[in-house]
Structure 1
Amino acid sequence: MKSYFSTYFFSTILTLFSLPLFAGNPIKVKGHITCGKEHIPYVTISVNDGQLGTTTDESGHFMLELEKGETYHLTVSTVGYKTIEMDWQADNTHQELHIEIQKDLLELNEVIVSSSRRAQNRNETSSVVNVIGKELFQSANFKVAGEGLNYISGARVETTCGNCGSTELRLNGLEGPYTQILIDSRPVFNGLVGVYGLEQIPVNMVDQIEIVRGGGSVLFGANAIGGTVNILTKSPEFNAYEVGSNFSTIDGASNDYNVYFNTSLISKNEKTSGYVFGSYRNRDAWNANPDDIYYKIDEDGNPFGDPIKDDFSEVTALETISVGTKIYHQLNTQNQFTFDAKYTHDTRRGGNKLDLPYEEADLTEAIKMHIGSASLTHDWFSQDKKWHLNTYAIAQFVNRDSYYGAHQAPDGFGLTTGSTIIAGSQMNYDIGKVAGGKTFLVVGAEFINDRINDKKLAYHDPETGKWTNDATVSDQNSNTYALFAQQEWTNAKWSLLTGVRMDYVNITDYQNHENDKSVPAINPRVNLKYKILDNLQVRGGFATGFRAPQMFSEDLHIEVTSGQGVRTVLDPDLKSETSISYNLALDLDQEIGTTQFYFLVEGFHTTINDRFDNQYHYQDDGTLILFKRNSTSNAVVKGLNFETKIAPSESFMLQANYTLQSSMYGEENQWGDEESSTSKHILRTPNQYGSLTANYKITNQWEASLTGVYTGKMFVPYLPGGFINGEMPENEELIETEQFVDMGIKVAYTTKLSKNSNIQIGAGVKNIFNQMQSNFASGIDKDAGFVYGPYTPRTFYIDVRIGNLLN
């Protein structure tokens, strides 16, 4: 590590002193941007792929300082309007630049970065990229980033634990570890953060989320098999602020309160800018089945005594604080530094008797998590704008205190610590015209160190009868060394993205060095787009991937089942998992009169070899330990995604997504401890699901939104230990769930608060039809993993937002 950071430091110093500073003949260029007769405020004008830039003010005007005689490439973009790219020469001392832009009612032309880490028009990329923006977050009172991912075709966010409320994203039917989640294009979602990470990112820090289904680019990791989710945080583009608060209630007693702020400031010379955000959330626990009864269990597993009313939570109590900042400083036209820092404190608790100490309740799952991260990035551009070198270093540290125990267990306390260090460099080179098409080359290297230490603070050894302090469950260090190269070639009809990534993963198990592994892997990926017509195009992709035999986020989620803690260790014989995936998509965008229309159909097929699966083993003292193992068979996930958007006018927009899929093992796979507990189905994966959003602007001040998520039937396992409807299941059971339609509605009113500020007041209902799973487990020994369908029942809310950019 020391040598790597030394290399970064000296390369940066050499870059700064060996390259000439901006010393040409600058001129001030004034301009304005309009749509018809209306001037458009807060439009971003990016010069030479972000080397320079500015935004229009409240009146739609801007000013740039450029070098006389130079030709610049301008990218003009803002939410709700079509992106314009143009070349322009600064040839007069006093130049007035007028740019006319058009409404993009369906927002098909957003600027994205998730194909090559450079800004591109989404419609021009060789792979399908979906974008979630602030409009969706505001349409349904979303508080965290994960809530919006249900509204992308092929994506599902599910709750995986009824006690602690952990969540998991599935893309194209594949579980969370098959999706690479990035923050600002960096893989800081390590195994420990990934357990609750999607609920720890407040929406007020998010600019947009970009989703690429399938293998996609080689830049973001070999384990991006299901896809890549790139959460792009807000950047300081203009002086702005927003404060807000929202309040939700389920039944008048279980409430969810959130308050937040964000602000950005730009220096007068526009060379330094900063963004600061903060968020606080407090949610009460909620019990779905307070009228259910259960009984105490004797040593033989038989119920006895008087019936007891269930008082265990299904919605977890939580308190989350998030703060952060992002600062840019442009030394000159060739060099820019970015500093980013974030801190999150997350406390959550499920079970019963939440006012008592953990070990005095009948059942407790609780965590106190501290996450801190900081990054420094340097961007260098050559004078001819053809070279762009991006060098970065990131550090993230996590501390998680936990308690997982039932029956007032004294040994339920645990401590898990983790650190992630990432350093890398990427060079983008604009080769120019090759064989009649623009050609871009990307080469880079990345190093990732991920250290995880998980231990119980007290452990009772059944063989010796003694208590042991600080019993280590897992102590693993993983170093990943990666080299990647990618070339993109595009002309008026074709776009070809080819790349290869070489990873070498070195895993050290400090508990048992016999489990140490060194895993090399080479993974090629290809994406091809052909424009059949100006508004009709087909895209196809091929990707290979692999997962090294190491601890993942789901391994570090400790739950309670049958009254015992469930922890994960790795099978010593666990091998790497490999995959091959294909996808083919056809999309059409059409204007018929004033109506804009978009339709996409996409097929996907993924084969996974030596798939990681879970095998249950009971220790002699009854403690349940979950081993990772190599599957005895492969798995195939395949299906179709459908998307459509319709906008008859500026006042109304409708979007719908639907997925049909099949997720199967090659042969019967054991999912429980009993020999008969087998299935060919990949569990917790419905064969059909979808979403709907509709926005209607009633007047300039009033607007209404309708949202909905459909979840089809799926198979969910139940492990005995608790009661269902007052009865104790005798055997492990595979349950086929019902289907769910979770609808929500919101109405909002926006008006002027002052000359430069607006206020928006909104109110709505989530889960209007109160769609919940029909069977909930009861009792101290209930199966915490027996949770499916919508996480919260019918919920009423109100929110207030104040800022200078509300419309």
Structure 2
Amino acid sequence: MSRLLIFIALMVSFSIQSLAQHRVQGKVESAQKPLEFVTIYIPELQKGTTTDENGQFVLLNIPAGKWNLEVSLLGYRKVSKTLVVPLASQDLVFVLENLDSSLDEVVVSGTLQEVSKTNSPVPVEVYKSGFFKANPTPSIFESLQNVNGVRPQVNCNVCNTGDIHINGLEGPYTMVLIDGMPIVSGLSTVYGLTGIPQSLIDRIEVVKGPASTLYGSEAVGGLINIITKRSELAPVVGSDVMVSSWGEVNADLGFKSSLGKKVQSLTGLNVFWYDRPIDNNQDGFTDVTLQKRVSLFQKLEFDRPGAKAFSLAGRYMYEDRWGGEMNWTPAFRGGDEVYGESIFTFRWELFGNYELPRVKNVNFQFSANGHHQNSVYGETFFVADQKIGFGQLTYRKEAGINNLLLGAAYRYTYYDDNTVATGGDGRQNNPSVIHLPGVFVQNELNLSPKSTVLAGVRYDYNSIHGSVVSPRLNYKLSSLDKTTILRISAGNGFRVANVFTEDHAALTGAREVVFEEELDPERSWNGNVNLVKKIYSSKGNYYSLDGTVFYTHFTNRIVPDYETNPNQIIYANLDGKAVSKGVSLNFDAALQSGLNFMAGATLMDVSLDEDGEKVRQLLTERFSGVWNIGYHIHALHLQIDYTGNVYSPMRLPLLGDLDDRPEYSPWFSIQNIQVSKKLGNWELYGGIKNLLNFTPPANSIARSFDPFDKGVEFDESGQVIPTPGNPNALTFDPTYVFAPNQGIRGFLGVRFTIQ
């Protein structure tokens, strides 16, 4: 009887517990911000609710049991969780991933003011640090190969230096900034994108088209702004070590700390080491330069009354690189026995931002950098020093529908080298000193919730070339839900050129540099139309189309002439016009299944027109495409990424009519695959680069067997004479280059992060 009573009591207790009603509550957020109107739903019970303005939700009268809870919001990846009610803990916390990670991304490059990417009247492309992890590289220079319309161009087969092309325009037309400061310019266009610790990079902003109204000289083709992490959002410790089957080692280390109660510190270290000569194409020269690079980055952010901004950052970089004949050693540096190109680079940078006290919206930004380069190219010594100081004061005022920005800037540039560029009267150097004061005004007029007009103008006075005026006009029209955005832009850009700091071809090989005239500043007019369409499907998937039509017209374009005399590079202002025009399209898709797809294509025509003759620009493709396909297996915490690019033929610099090398490069594609897995604070990754094993032809370096032209004969005018030993009238020349020489290789890496 007693056993029966106990059994009945247990059954009654279980029934009562099953019928008991429980409370389920929690919070939903994304990027550490609460999300409103998120749907919380239990399908089996047909019960649901939504989050409030604080991201909080409460579900009442939930019976005990095991239930499936779905958390969803349009534009975010759905999260499902199995709940055991009653809950073991009181509150649930859900973090949703934004399918369009750039939807409300704050950008500064287009207007010099913080604004969401969606609201910016200037089209700005934003690439978060996670984008570059799909194809990890030792430097930002290489990382940009997966950005549509942006191409890292290797300019020399021997030392592998390069620059960044935007929409077919060479590196000197692209301004590179760090935290909005013009740090990378002049000498450092070749080396400035290496050695920045990628563990400290928050995002990279890309603006295509002239930005001289806000940034002055050099921002003719566009700008790349590298934004470092804010200390409060940076991980406590972040490290990344990667090795390749070629023997390359790249290590990043970043950490944050506090110096007292009011100073936050962010420190980064990058080390790259490659010391293994390889000659797979059997031309007698290293396929890839050997490099030893160390870079140290330090950023301080100060807590001031009234939350006034004050940050100070600095970077120091040292690099030793060489390429050349396989038997080259430092003992041959600068001699004529064994050819080598050896470059020592010492570089420091200091930059910051200070918001003035006692007045509103007045900021002072400043930067300074020094660059010393000690290099030899065969027998040619090139030793140069460059120092740049920059200061900019801005004032922002909002008045009704107007958002006014006023600014005054000053830039000081000192440059000295051992070439004819600063040769003076022949007895002593005459360093170049340029003072560039300027003022600018910009007004953003919000005509309605859907339309905005941005107008601006800048006046600069160059101490050598005189006055320069740069206007611009932008118009943005969007739908009320901001899923359709039209932007129309027009602007003017200018650039003062320094051939020896910008064009490595002027130094390498045996060519003589010739200036036909005093070079005048280049000017350009640009117009582009940008249309963005975002689509959110009923199944919660996200799609985006971003198309642009662009046109840039140059006057006074400075064009190196490699073809008139194969033994010379002749520089002069173009007596005519140069045009860069085309169309680009980006397509993004983020599916609830975990599949992400990004693809882009650019079709363009970059040409020079002089005396009625139109010629395609050298080393510029007509078509380029990029893609990034990623699939995340949530159950395994496994990510698979397949990235790549493809380029159409480019016109290459030949050494004369008898040069038997192809005038155009072939179609080529560089493709990579990577698998990564997270294990708590650790992440392991590995894969294969250059899956198709594409490399340029082995004869890319002309007469690699005679780098000092000892077997070349010249006539009285300096032209090469065909001889039995040199029937094609060639000289040693490593500028016939359109792609890296590095073939297929494996890589393996590990990341460690403490948030």
TM class by shorter chain equals 0.7 to 0.9
> What does 1:317-328 align with in structure 2 at a 5 Å threshold?
317-328=290-301
Contact kept in structure 2, 1:346 and 1:368, CA below 8 Å: yes
Counterpart selection for 2:345 from 361, 369, 381:
369
Flag the 1:198–1:212 CA change in 2: closer, same or farther, 3 A: same
Q: CA deviation at 1:451?
A: 1.1
Q: CA deviation at 1:473?
A: 7.8
2: CA distance, partners of 1:694 / 1:198: 26
Corresponding position of 1:423: 391
Q: CA deviation at 1:102?
A: 5.7
Flag the 1:359–1:574 CA change in 2: closer, same or farther, 3 A: closer
Partner deviation per Cα, 1:744-775 (whole Å, 9 max, x = no partner): 000011112xxxxx111111001101112234
Does 2:754 match 1:804?
A: yes
Partner deviation per Cα, 1:31-74 (whole Å, 9 max, x = no partner): xxxxx9565587279xxxxxxxxxxxxxx99xxxxxxxxxxxxx
Flag the 1:442–1:102 CA change in 2: closer, same or farther, 3 A: farther
2: CA distance, partners of 1:519 / 1:314: 45
Question: What fraction of aligned residue pairs are identical, expressed as a percent?
Answer: 23
Counterpart selection for 1:166 from 154, 161, 165:
161
Flag the 1:502–1:456 CA change in 2: closer, same or farther, 3 A: closer
Q: CA deviation at 1:100?
A: 9.7
Moved more, 743-752 or 389-398: 389-398
> What does 1:186-205 align with in structure 2 at a 5 Å threshold?
186-205=181-200
Counterpart selection for 2:318 from 345, 348, 365:
345
2: CA distance, partners of 1:268 / 1:665: 59
Contact kept in structure 2, 1:392 and 1:424, CA below 8 Å: yes
Read off the aligned partner of 2:679 and give its amino acid letter.
Answer: T
Q: CA deviation at 1:359?
A: 3.7
Contact kept in structure 2, 1:190 and 1:420, CA below 8 Å: no
Counterpart selection for 2:144 from 141, 149, 156:
149
Does 2:667 match 1:759?
A: no
Q: CA deviation at 1:548?
A: 2.6
| Runs of at least 5 residues in structure 2 that lack an aligned partner in the other structure | 1-24, 35-54, 57-74, 78-91, 708-731
Does 2:495 match 1:495?
A: no
2: CA distance, partners of 1:342 / 1:398: 12
| Runs of at least 5 residues in structure 1 that lack an aligned partner in the other structure | 1-35, 46-59, 62-79, 83-97, 292-309, 462-469, 507-516, 670-677, 721-728, 753-757
Corresponding position of 2:491: 543
Q: CA deviation at 1:366?
A: 1.2
Partner deviation per Cα, 1:649-707 (whole Å, 9 max, x = no partner): 162210000000111122479xxxxxxxx971111111000100011111352111110
2: CA distance, partners of 1:471 / 1:800: 56
2: CA distance, partners of 1:474 / 1:681: 37
Counterpart selection for 2:172 from 171, 174, 177:
177
Read off the aligned partner of 1:430 and give its amino acid letter.
Answer: E
Read off the aligned partner of 2:268 and give its amino acid letter.
Answer: F
Q: Give the match's secondary structure for 1:333.
A: helix
Contact kept in structure 1, 2:220 and 2:495, CA below 8 Å: no
Aligned residues: 642
Q: Give the match's secondary structure for 2:735.
A: coil
Corresponding position of 1:794: 744
Q: Let me know the Cα RMSD of the aligned residues.
A: 3.2
Corresponding position of 1:512: none
> What does 1:262-661 align with in structure 2 at a 5 Å threshold?
262-266=254-258, 271-284=262-275, 286-291=277-282, 310-333=283-306, 335-352=308-325, 353-357=327-331, 358-359=333-334, 362-380=338-356, 387-405=360-378, 409=379, 412-431=380-399, 433-434=400-401, 439-455=402-418, 475-490=431-446, 491-506=448-463, 517-532=464-479, 534=481, 535-551=483-499, 553-555=501-503, 558-561=506-509, 564=510, 568=513, 571-592=516-537, 593-615=539-561, 626-649=569-592, 651-661=594-604
Q: CA deviation at 1:164?
A: 0.9
Flag the 1:286–1:381 CA change in 2: closer, same or farther, 3 A: same
Flag the 1:704–1:132 CA change in 2: closer, same or farther, 3 A: same
Does 2:657 match 1:694?
A: no
Does 2:640 match 1:704?
A: yes
Does 2:652 match 1:716?
A: yes
Contact kept in structure 1, 2:211 and 2:493, CA below 8 Å: no
1: CA distance, partners of 2:212 / 2:253: 34
Q: CA deviation at 1:337?
A: 2.2
Read off the aligned partner of 2:316 and give its amino acid letter.
Answer: Y
Corresponding position of 2:238: 242
Flag the 1:39–1:493 CA change in 2: closer, same or farther, 3 A: closer
TM-score by length of 2: 0.79
Moved more, 787-796 or 628-637: 787-796
2: CA distance, partners of 1:570 / 1:376: 38
1: CA distance, partners of 2:352 / 2:158: 38
1: CA distance, partners of 2:609 / 2:691: 40
Q: Give the match's secondary structure for 1:448.
A: strand
Flag the 1:219–1:99 CA change in 2: closer, same or farther, 3 A: farther
Contact kept in structure 2, 1:141 and 1:799, CA below 8 Å: no
Contact kept in structure 1, 2:672 and 2:690, CA below 8 Å: yes
1: CA distance, partners of 2:435 / 2:458: 16
Does 2:733 match 1:783?
A: yes
Contact kept in structure 1, 2:197 and 2:297, CA below 8 Å: no
Flag the 1:607–1:447 CA change in 2: closer, same or farther, 3 A: same
Contact kept in structure 1, 2:452 and 2:475, CA below 8 Å: yes
2: CA distance, partners of 1:43 / 1:381: 30
Q: Give the match's secondary structure for 2:663.
A: strand
Q: CA deviation at 1:425?
A: 0.7
2: CA distance, partners of 1:629 / 1:419: 26
2: CA distance, partners of 1:314 / 1:643: 33
Q: CA deviation at 1:429?
A: 1.6
Flag the 1:498–1:41 CA change in 2: closer, same or farther, 3 A: closer
Flag the 1:260–1:108 CA change in 2: closer, same or farther, 3 A: closer
Contact kept in structure 1, 2:173 and 2:218, CA below 8 Å: yes
